[in-house]
């Protein structure tokens, strides 16, 4: 299967108003000359990005303001992504987390995280796969999971669970595809320096965070080369192989100690 060519092709990027999605959109526009459908909740951020990329990168940009914890917004995003242009690829990056003791999670947060991280991903992926299977053309979809899917950190239990779900869902679905020109990729970064990790709760963890520019570049390359699963960063990949030799209970316990230390410093 040959690599994807993004030049002058339409690519959907969710969670594009900040962080990894924002940086992926910029790199796709400037370095790959891709046209973009950018989606997120914040209209002002999306419109600023649209103006920049159209004026400076010379690409076309379509804005879809959508909250992926809302079913109607998910449906509207799917419709607008598949109408008016020929969609070539998609990066489903939107995601939210809760960092803290699970029993202290605010009421309603679980449903919002589940809807955004799992239900929206499954619904969008399902419709995109149907579309690409019927079209029978070259295409690719990448879902942003996390290393938390492999080594779940305490105090982010729900987040880790959602990321494990989407990883297994996409890995299995890949082998149901009939269109041999369609690929599904799972991108599983460790911590990234973004708005999600700016809070004081993450202070003890910030030394581990990958620069967002590097994470975006590796993610785009993983989609382009049609990787099955990809963990960015050589140290992360080597560390992941090494951790397979250790009891998972030990690894999760060590993560828990580190996360607890970060939380304790706020008290």
- What pLDDT, on the 0 to 100 scale, is given for residue 4? 97
- What pLDDT, on the 0 to 100 scale, is given for residue 207? 56
* Closest by Cα among 47, 45, 13 to 29: 13
DSSP the chain: -PPP--TT-EEEEESTTSHHHHHHHHHHHHHH--EEEEEES-HHHHHHHHHHIIIII---EEEEE--TTSHHHHHHHHHHHHSSS-EEEEEE-------S-GGGPPTTHHHHHHIIIIIHHHHHHHHHHHHHHHHTSSEEEEEE--GGGTSPPTT-HHHHHHHHHHHHHHHHHGGG---TTEEEEEE----B-SGGG-SGGGGGGGGGPBPHHHHHHHHHHHHHTT-SEE--SHHHHHHHHHHTTS-HHHHHHHHHHHHHHHHHTT-
pTM for this predicted structure: 0.89
pLDDT, mean of residues 191-196: 65
- The more confidently predicted of residues 197 and 261 is 261
Q: How far apart are CA 107 and CA 193, in angstroms?
A: 27
Please give the structure tokens belonging to residue 63. 């804005």
Among 88, 98, 159, 259, which one carries the catalytic annotation? Answer: 159
Residue 246 clears pLDDT 60, i.e. is over it: yes
Average pLDDT of the residues of the chain:
89
- What pLDDT, on the 0 to 100 scale, is given for residue 22? 96
Q: How far apart are CA 105 and CA 115, in angstroms?
A: 16
* Closest by Cα among 20, 14, 17, 38 to 191: 20
Check if 30 is active-site.
Answer: no
Least confident of 13-17, 39-43, 229-233, 256-260: 256-260
pLDDT, tens digit, for every residue of 52-80?
A: 999 999 999 999 999 999 999 999 999 99
pLDDT, tens digit, for every residue of 171-188?
A: 999 999 999 999 999 999
Q: Are 117 and 95 a contacting pair, CB within 8 Å? A: yes
Tell me the residue length of the chain. Answer: 267
| Residue whose entry in the numeric block shows the structure tokens 């041999």 | 180
- What pLDDT, on the 0 to 100 scale, is given for residue 239? 65
> Using 50, 70 and 90 to split pLDDT, how confident is the model at 197?
very low
Residue 6 clears pLDDT 90, i.e. is over it: yes
- The more confidently predicted of residues 206 and 189 is 189
Q: Are 139 and 89 a contacting pair, CB within 8 Å? A: yes
pLDDT, tens digit, for every residue of 122-167?
A: 999 999 999 999 999 999 999 999 989 998 989 999 999 999 999 9
Residue 48 clears pLDDT 70, i.e. is over it: yes
């Amino acid at each position: 299967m040959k690599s994807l060519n993004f030049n002058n092709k339409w690519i959907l990027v969710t969670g594009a108003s900040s962080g990894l999605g924002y940086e992926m959109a910029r790199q796709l526009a400037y370095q790959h000359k891709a046209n973009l459908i950018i989606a997120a909740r914040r209209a002002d951020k999306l419109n600023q990005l649209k103006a920049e990329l159209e004026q400076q990168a010379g690409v076309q940009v379509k804005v879809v303001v959508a909250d992926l914890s809302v079913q109607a917004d998910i449906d509207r995003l799917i419709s607008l992504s598949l109408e008016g242009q020929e969609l070539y690829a998609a990066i489903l990056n939107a995601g939210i987390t809760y960092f803290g003791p699970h029993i202290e999670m605010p009421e309603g947060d679980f449903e919002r995280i589940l809807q955004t991280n799992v239900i929206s991903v499954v619904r969008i992926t399902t419709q995109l796969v149907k579309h690409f299977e019927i079209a029978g053309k070259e295409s690719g979809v990448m879902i942003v999971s996390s290393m938390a899917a492999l080594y779940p950190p305490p105090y982010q239990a729900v987040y880790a669970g959602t990321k494990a779900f989407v990883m297994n869902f996409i890995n299995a679905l890949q082998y149901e595809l009939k269109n041999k020109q369609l690929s599904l990729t799972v991108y599983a970064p460790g911590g990234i320096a973004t708005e999600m990790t700016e809070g004081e709760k993450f202070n003890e963890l910030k030394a581990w965070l990958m620069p967002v520019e590097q994470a975006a570049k590796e993610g785009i390359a993983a989609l382009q080369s049609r990787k099955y699963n990809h963990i960015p960063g050589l140290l992360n990949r080597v560390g992941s192989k090494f951790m397979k030799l250790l009891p998972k209970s030990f690894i999760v316990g060590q993560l828990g100690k580190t996360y607890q230390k970060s939380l304790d410093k706020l008290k």
